[in-house]
Copies of this chain bind each other. A is one copy, B any other.
Amino acid sequence: MTASDGDEPNGLRRTHRVTISDLARRLQISKASVSYALNGRAGVSDETRQRVLDLAEELGFHPNSAAVALSASRTRTIGIVIARDPALISTEAFYMRTLVGIEQYLNEVDASLLLRLTGEQGEDLDVLRRWSRQGRVDGFILFDEHDNDPRIPLLKELGIPCVVVSSNAPDDQAGRLISSPTETVTLLLDHLAALGHRDIAHISGPFMFVHERLRVQTLRELAADRGMTVRQLEGSYRYDDGAALTRQLLTGPNPPTAIVLGNDLMAVAALRVAIDLGTPVPGQVSIVAWDDSPLCELAHPGITAVDQKTMERGRAAADLLFRVAAGQDDIHEQAPAGELRARASSGPAAHR
């Protein structure tokens, strides 16, 4: 699938209908054998190779997509290096769901993931440099973009491709899977506006992340378009912080009628503080979260959140990386669209 023929009108690439797994199942051979056959690599007999190619044609499997990219791959391995507090990584569902999506894709095409979690920023640069020089990976998927992120020029200098899971699309030659905040902000604000909310608050993640500052800016603009005011507070993604900032809002003058929280952990914290303060949810304050997760789903009341299609996003990032590494020109792609999961934590505004 080339970048153009797979694009939907809304910019969303669809997943392939026929996969290597389908071919393997039909032929009762391993996916590795299918992959070897499609990629012209040793490891299968000529007869098997022909059976694979025949079935691929019959079923309309497009070997001009990932298969071509993978045939150009030196290592069939991608690298991910995450520099974040390990405790936070293990509490938030985001990373694990993303990794699972990436792994689902890699498993289908018989490729591998080399993973490193460094506790501190800076250490990640060492790892990117060494894995690149050692030729261990075809490229990297990068998360949590910072201002003037040093990883992007480093990888450019090293000549190693990357895909940034990103909120913006500067012209820096990095591959990008782009989730514009406009979409999520629109889902959240339309939901709250329809419920009569006019005075809302947003407790974000740290402003050091590009995507958090874009969220703040987009919320301000789209709230103004709808005649809503939005107070913005910088949080840390941590439970304690979500709790303290929510307490500050709800016990201060003119509490907002709805609070948007930047992640699931802070949303659960906000819900708990509201209940502990005797502030009815959603009767007095609605609580909504940027990212859906089991914590939001299993909270009581359940917390309204945007399902960011995190696993699909992981799949799409891995797929894009192999195509970028194979030299595809179009290095920017839209991430799968999110969907609002309306639950009991949001309801009509207390004051109109």
Residues of chain A touching chain B, judged by Cβ–Cβ distance below 8 Å, are: 30-32, 77, 86-87, 89-91, 93, 95-97, 99-100, 103-104, 106-107, 112-119, 123, 126, 130-131, 136, 239, 265, 268, 272, 275, 294-295, 298-300, 311
Contact = CB atoms under 8 A, between A and B. Distances in A.
A332 B307 CA distance: 43
B117 A100 contact: yes
A86 B126 contact: no
Contact of A117 (B104, B123, B294): B104
A326 B131 CA distance: 24
A112 B117 contact: no
Given A265-B294, A295-B294, A103 B115 contact: yes
A89 B90 CA distance: 12
Contacts of A272: 298, 300
Contact of A86 (B104, B123, B300): B104
Looking at chain A's contact residues, the main secondary structure is helix
Contact of A90 (B31, B91, B93, B119): B93
A195 B322 CA distance: 58
A117 B103 contact: yes
Given A100-B89, A117-B107, A119-B107, A126 B32 contact: yes
A100 B90 contact: yes
28 contacts: A31-B126, A86-B104, A86-B311, A87-B100, A89-B96, A90-B96, A95-B96, A99-B115, A103-B116, A103-B117, A104-B117, A106-B116, A107-B118, A107-B119, A107-B123, A112-B115, A112-B116, A112-B131, A112-B136, A115-B115, A268-B298, A272-B298, A272-B300, A294-B295, A295-B295, A295-B298, A298-B299, A300-B300
Contacts of A123: 31, 107
A77 B113 CA distance: 12
Contacts of A275: 300
Given A31-B126, A112-B114, 19 more contacts: A30-B126, A32-B126, A86-B104, A89-B96, A90-B311, A91-B93, A91-B294, A99-B115, A103-B115, A103-B117, A107-B116, A107-B118, A107-B119, A112-B116, A112-B136, A114-B114, A114-B115, A272-B300, A294-B295
A73 to B, nearest CB: 14
Nearest to A107: B118
